[in-house]
Amino acid sequence: MKNVVIFGSTGSIGKQTLEVTDNLNDFSIFGLTCGKNIKLLIKQIKEYNPKVVCVESQEDAKEIKNIFPDLNVYFGEDGLIQIVEENLYDILVVATSGIISVKAVLKAIENKKTIALANKETLVMAGDIVMEKARKYNTPIIPIDSEHSAILQCINTFDNNFAKNLWITASGGPFLKNSRDEMKEFTSLDALKHPRWNMGKKITIDCSTLVNKGLEVIEAHHLYNFNYDNIKVVIHPQSLVHSFVEFIDGSFLAQMGVPSMHIPIQYALTYPKRHEGIKTGSFIPYNKSLEFFEPDFEKFPLLKLTIECGKSGGIMPAVLNAANETAVYKFLNNEIKFLDIEKLVFNQIEKTNNILNPSIEEIFETDRIIRKNLETIKL
């Protein structure tokens, strides 16, 4: 029996992870955490009977403790660290958004727990620190993102030395066929209409700007130790090929399947084995048209900027991440227009002097400063 802790159990990935474990006989839920969705967390506690939970606020922690007096209940960032220090679990699923789980992930790595990673900030902001520690403690980090899971499945088929380029596929988002002029007037409701995937709001907006693909390039750089010049982004509107690897002899190996997060989640939990999965719909490639073409960097400038920040290293990925996340939530709150997202991000990048080899404290402080800068900025 493998015990699982899920950071972000009430979010999209967290809920789907629970659905996956429902189908696996040898997995048990040891811990659950959430931000503010206490009602759903209470339902999950009743159904899965975890030994420990963590919520965002002390008030919510008291409420849950009153309902479940025998349950260990923590709160805040320190609470996440307390959970991973309990050491009575095998796999940590990181499905939170933002930076709140980064320090807890570092502690879990020290405790040599398998990390099933869906949180982008962990590697985007602190990839050098995280991967160095993972190598030191020989701790596996298994990606949950469909694109990185696809690369893992392809690249593990052969010796890593035979791989030449990693190709990350992108659907192109809801605005693939729209012009820049048309994009000026799109609302958050327009941007949230992703043509293929069912995801959380923030990541769906990131898909509409293609910044999400840039973040995945940074993640792939850290996960697979590949140079940025050997990580490519390709538009694939059908979302049936989730990524592929190009080998030195000119051959390509692709991973295909229906666009369902249940598949990469289960692969991360059972890695390197495979189990029969929950039904996600049939995938029959007959009469299917598969298109692949280069991304339009002029139409989606944040894709290019994100990759450039990854190449720059230091604190620049953290600056990019903080500025983008803050701008996205401003857009979701109808405070700015769609194309203002990129204006705010470019503004913060241009104002920032890079710090190479930053400490985790410097990364967090940079994140705080950028978010504060954007709190009162007006366009």
Is the model's pLDDT at 59 over the cut of 70?
Answer: yes
Same domain, 299 and 334: no
Average pLDDT over residues 244-269: 92
Same domain, 270 and 216: yes
Same domain, 297 and 361: no
Same domain, 290 and 334: no
Same domain, 111 and 179: no
* Residue where a domain stops, chosen among 113, 143, 173: 143
Average pLDDT over residues 307-324: 97
Domain assignment of residue 371, given as a range? 313-379
Same domain, 164 and 120: no
CATH number, domain containing residue 326: 1.10.1740.10
The strand pair at 52-55 and 27-33 is best described as parallel
* Residue where a domain stops, chosen among 276, 311, 346: 311
Tens digits of per-residue pLDDT, 39-58?
999 999 999 999 999 999 99
Is the model's pLDDT at 325 over the cut of 80?
Answer: yes
The number of domains in the chain is 3
CA-based max dimension of the chain: 63
Same domain, 64 and 85: yes
Residues 41 and 45: their CA atoms lie apart, in Å, by 6
pTM over 0.85: yes
Lookup result for tokens 């009162």: 376
Count of Cβ atoms closer than 10 Å to residue 59 Cβ: 10
pLDDT of residue 193: 82
Same domain, 231 and 368: no
Same domain, 25 and 11: yes
41: closest CA among 1, 81, 9?
A: 9
- Percent residues over pLDDT 90 in the chain: 81
**Mean pLDDT, rounded, of the chain:** 93
pLDDT of residue 158: 61
Is the model's pLDDT at 287 over the cut of 90?
Answer: no
pLDDT of residue 155: 86
**In the chain, at which residue ranges do the beta strands (DSSP E only) sit?**
2-7, 27-33, 52-55, 72-75, 91-94, 114-117, 141-143, 163-170, 231-235, 241-247, 252-256
Same domain, 296 and 152: yes
Same domain, 125 and 38: yes
* Residue where a domain stops, chosen among 88, 122, 143: 143
Q: List, as one string, the DSSP characters of 159-221.
A: -GGGEEEEEEEE---TTTT--HHHHTT--HHHHT--SS----HHHHHHHHHTHHHHHHHHHHH
pLDDT of residue 283: 66
Please tell me the chain's helix, strand, coil percentages from 3-state DSSP, rounded to the nearest 5: 45, 15, 35
pLDDT of residue 246: 95
Same domain, 179 and 163: yes
pLDDT of residue 194: 73
Which band of pLDDT confidence, cut at 50, 70 and 90, is reported for residue 282?
A: low
Tens digits of per-residue pLDDT, 162-203?
899 999 999 998 899 999 999 999 999 888 887 766 677 888
Tens digits of per-residue pLDDT, 121-172?
999 999 999 999 999 999 999 999 999 999 999 987 666 678 999 999 999 9
pLDDT of residue 200: 76
